[in-house]
């Protein structure tokens, strides 16, 4: 699977990239903010975007809306420390593929990745 990682935290991007690579997936690119995410998505055409919600400037929810404008069928896995039922409901209406809560274990991460493999 070809993946784009969007997170403002470089260590988190490194961790996600390492886990995805270990699971046999290609990390096509990374972005640390919304503008870079949209540009990378348009250029790389990844199969899945791993997206953090809490970011400076444009939030992950706003980035998700912009990604949907580029590609209404974009597959997005949200990775977040936010644990709110209202947010989950809002995200489910946007067609999010999966949500991973930080901190997560390798087994949790692997289970989500395996569930979305095309």
Residue partners of 27: CB distance under 8 A and separation at least 6: 3, 4, 5, 16, 17, 20, 21
**Domains of the chain and CATH, by start:** 2-111 (3.40.50.2300)
Q: Per residue of the chain (118 residues), what is the pLDDT tens digit?
A: 999 999 999 999 999 999 999 999 999 999 999 999 999 999 999 999 999 999 989 999 999 999 999 999 999 999 988 767 767 777 777 788 998 989 999 999 999 999 998 5
Using CA atoms in the order 29, 33, 34, 40, what is the torsion angle rounded to 10 degrees? -20
**Tokens 């404008």 sit on residue:** 69
To the question of pTM greater than 0.85 for the whole model, the response is yes
Token representation of residue 53: 């919600």
């Amino acid at each position: 699977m070809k993946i784009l990682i969007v997170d403002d935290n470089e260590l988190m991007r490194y961790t996600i990239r390492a886990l995805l690579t270990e699971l046999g997936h290609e990390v096509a690119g990374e972005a640390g903010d919304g503008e870079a995410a949209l540009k990378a998505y348009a250029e790389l055409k990844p199969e899945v975007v791993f997206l953090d919600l809490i970011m400076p400037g444009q939030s992950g929810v706003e980035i998700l809306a912009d990604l949907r404008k580029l590609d209404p069928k974009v597959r997005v896995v949200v990775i977040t420390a936010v644990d709110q039922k209202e947010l989950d409901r809002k995200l489910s209406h946007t067609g999010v593929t999966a949500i991973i809560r930080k901190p997560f274990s390798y087994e949790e991460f692997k289970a989500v990745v395996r569930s979305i493999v095309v």
